[in-house]
Structure formats: C-alpha cells, structure tokens
Amino acid sequence: MLNHDAVAAPANAPIAAPQAPAGGLINRTTLLCLLVAVLEGVDLQAAGVAAPKLAPALHLAPQELGAFFSAGTIGLFLGALVGGRLADRFGRKAVLVVSVALFGLFTAATALSPDFTTLFLMRLATGLGLGGTLPNLVALAAENSPSGRSGGAVSLMYGGMPLGGAIVSLIAVFAGMGGGFDSWRTIFYIAGGAPLLVLPLLIWALPDSQAFRAAAAADGEARPGVLAILFGGGRAVETVLLWLAFFATLMVLYLLLSWLPLLMTERGFTKPQAALIQVMLNISGAIACAVTGPLLDGPRRFGYAITVFVGLAVFLVLLAVMPANLAVALLVGLGAGAMVLTTQATLYAAAPACYPTAIRGTGVGGAVAAGRLGSVVGPLLGGGLVQAGLSAPDLLLSLVPLVAVGGLLAVLLIRRQARRPA
C-alpha cells in the first residue's frame, strides 16, 4: 500500500544513504555515471558534428536536415518524461541500462541510414534513449552519494556531458571530416559503439539505488499520478521554479552552442579559431563542474548560485565587447564555458531535492523535459534574432536578461529548499 505521507509531504528527507565509503565524493556509482554522461555528451553532439558531411552524402535539403535535428530533440523530450516515470516503477539501474542500450544501438544504426526517412527514425529512437538516460543518472548520482554530498556528485556527473561534446569534435578530426562523405558514418559508429561496449560494465558493476529500493518497498505497488507527483504535497511552487529555471538557462546554453562559432566568425575570427573557442568552452565547463561541485552542498550553494549566474552575465558581456584577439577570446571562452555549464549543474543538483525518493524519477524527468524545450527554443531564438539583423554583440547582450531570469528563479528555489524544516 502506498505510503501517502511520504509522497504528500515536501521533499525534506536526506537524498540518500551512502552506498560508497563514507566521506568519499567519488565512488563507484559516481564514476560509472560520469562515464555514461561522457558517452551521452558524445551522442548528443554527434549529429551536429557529422551534419556537414552527412547532408551532401544523403542529398538532404535544408528542411530535411532541420527535421533530422528536430527528431532527436523530440525523442529527448519524450524519453525524459517516460524514462523518469519508468524509473519510479522498475528502478534507476534497469531503466538506465535500457536507455544506454537504446541510444547506443540506434546511434550506430544511424550510420547505416540510406535515406532521409531511415535517418529521421534512427535519430528519433536515439533521442528516446538519450532522454531516458539523464534523469536516471541524476537520481543515481544523488541517491548513491554519501550523506550531504549529493550536489557535488551530481555536478561531477553532469560535467561529463560537455567533456563528451569536446571529445566528439576531436573524433571528427581523426575520422577525416575534411575528407570523403563517408567519414560521417564513422562518427556514428564510434558514438554508438562505445555505449554498447560499456553496457556489460554497467550491468555488472553499477549499484542500484538502495534509497529507492527502500522507499519502493515501504510504499508498495501503487503509485500516485503524474500531476500529484509534480504539484501535490506542496511541491507545485518548486516544480514551477525548477521548470522555468531549466527552460531559461538551457535556452542560453543551446543558443551559445548552436550559434557561437558563427558569432565568432562575424567578430573576425577564422572558422578553426571559432571552433577552438567552442571546444574550450566545453572543456572549461566540464572542469568547473568537477572542481566546484562540492560547493553545491550545504549553505554555500546559495552564494554559489548567485556567483555563477552573475558570472555568466558578465562573461556574455565580455564575449560581446572583447577585441578580435584569439588569446583574449580563449580566456573569455574559458570563463563563459565554466559559468554557463555550472548554472546547469546548479539546477541538476537542486532537482532531486524537490521530490521524495519514491517519486524522484518522475519529478526529475519532468524537469529535464522542461529544459529540453528550452534547448529547442534557444537555437530558434538565435536564428530569429540573426535574421532580424542583430549583430553578434547585440545577440550576446540580449541573452543577459534571460540569464537574470534563470538566476533569480534558481536562487528562489534554493532559498526555498534551505528554509524547509529539517
């Protein structure tokens, strides 16, 4: 029988009992989740990296290429919703393993696509697997971390995603993207094959969430509806704050990822220099998430959130006004990457605490899905602003209000969580 008190009450219990050695932030679960996050980062950006050779190889019209990208996004959105919900029924590990198998298999199968229709279906299926992966990574990293260390564990795990984005850019270079059309297939073979090779390790070595198993055993087989999970038990305000903050900040992140190379070339940099700036943005973000993650635990996270959102606004302004000097641009890109990706880590670390353990998968999955909507709107917004005639500096400056809104929402959420009775 469902324990209604546990579900209806605000999520004020500790996120997890330690499964790893007490006091250690980096444990087996965190390392394996980090590895999967790197692989997910590779797969997420594989399509964009392969597109310049994929499009002419399959004779894709611009609208077909856009539909190919959209298929992945649709899958990510649906996969986050479904994967989070299934995790509350079948467990985090089981759904994560299936999700990794799906995105690995269909990414590799994308390389075999002979036409647009097959390509679209493969990317849609890949997106479903990728979407189901992240909510379970967040839940596992949080629930299997030592007591009081969940924020640092989630941040360290999330840092794997931008690292994967940098890795796939290097894979593209070694795959000969400057050469023949078939080099795009190599990208998908590698990006899909690696997760499949890691699957046995996950099945054998990844611990499931003991906190979830204990909560599920106490609650029995019944589960509340999705609306009750998201908005019942006094969770409505936190859910709305979390969704809107994710939406706003992911708009900024994906607009930068999509348009930064073009904006930098408009500023006078060469294409290789613009690509280098973007790679440095990813790498610095990964390092910042790993190094500063422990600040997301305890009372320090309030000041941390203010710092990273203010810092992001400052670096966006610097990107807009800096001279066309590569050394300066790399330094500013390092700072911008550290700030924009730690804003995401801040939200991913806050998300698990919004929901009790037994229903956390559904709650985190909903938040991830809200962020995916922002990742769709961001590039479209950038395209609209460019088409409207905004210069690169003006476009970057136009993002500052979005950062301010996302930061305010994140700070309100963290403040609200901190004020809960112990």
pLDDT category at 403 given cuts 50, 70, 90 is: very high
Task: Give the tokens for residue 316.
Answer: 């966006």
d(CA 181, CA 159): 32
Q: What is the DSSP letter of 390?
A: -
> Higher model confidence: residue 295 or residue 183?
295
Structure tokens at 231: 């908005």
Give pLDDT, residue 422: 54
Residue range 204-258, pLDDT digits in tens: 999 999 889 888 777 665 678 899 999 998 999 999 999 999 999 999 988 887 7
* Of the candidates 269, 388, 270, the residue with the CA atom closest to the CA atom of residue 319: 269
When pLDDT is averaged across residues 173-183 and rounded to a whole number, the result is 60
Mean pLDDT, residues 48-63: 84
253 or 176, higher pLDDT: 253
Q: Looking at 74-88, 182-196, 378-392, which range is the least confident one?
A: 378-392
Across the range 199-207, mean pLDDT stands at 95
* pLDDT recorded at residue 20: 42
pLDDT in the model for residue 54? 86
Residue 123 CA to residue 47 CA, distance in Å, equals 9
Helix ranges (H only) for 91-149 are 92-110, 116-143
Would you say the C-alpha torsion 300, 302, 308, 313 has a positive or negative sign?
negative
What lies within 8 Å, CB to CB, of 139 at 6+ separation is 87, 92, 209, 212, 352, 360, 361, 364
Looking at per-residue pLDDT, the higher value among 385 and 117 belongs to 117
User: Diameter of the chain by CA atoms?
Assistant: 65
Domain boundaries, the chain: 23-418
Residues 6+ apart with CB under 8 A from 250: 344, 371, 372, 374, 375, 378
Mean pLDDT of the residues in the chain = 86
φ, ψ for residue 61 (rounded to 5)?
Answer: -75, 160
Residue at 59: amino acid letter: H
Query: What per-residue confidence (pLDDT) applies to 26?
Result: 60
How many CA atoms lie less than 13 Å away from 394 in the CB half-sphere? 8
Look up residue 334 and give its two tokens: 């390092």
pLDDT score of 19 more than 50: no
Query: How many CB atoms lie under 10 A from the CB of residue 81?
Result: 21
Rounded to whole angstroms, how far apart are CA atoms 396 and 312? 11
Confidence of residue 166 (pLDDT cuts 50, 70, 90): confident
Confidence grade of residue 25 (pLDDT, cut at 50, 70, 90): very low
pLDDT at 417 over 60: yes
Query: pLDDT digit string (tens) for 257-311?
Result: 777 877 888 888 887 888 788 888 889 999 999 999 889 988 888 999 999 999 9
Domain at 23-418, CATH from 1.20.1250.20, 1.10.10.10, 3.40.50.1700, 3.30.470.20: 1.20.1250.20
C-alpha to C-alpha distances, 331 to 26, 265, 274, 305, nearest whole angstrom: 29, 17, 13, 22
Which is more confident, 387 or 88? 88
- pLDDT bucket at 368, cuts 50 / 70 / 90: very high
Q: What confidence category does residue 1 fall into, taking pLDDT thresholds of 50, 70 and 90?
A: very low
What's the confidence (pLDDT) of residue 176? 57
Please state the rounded mean pLDDT for residues 34-45. 94
User: Does residue 347 surpass a pLDDT of 60?
Assistant: yes
Local confidence band at 110 (pLDDT 50, 70, 90 cut-offs): very high
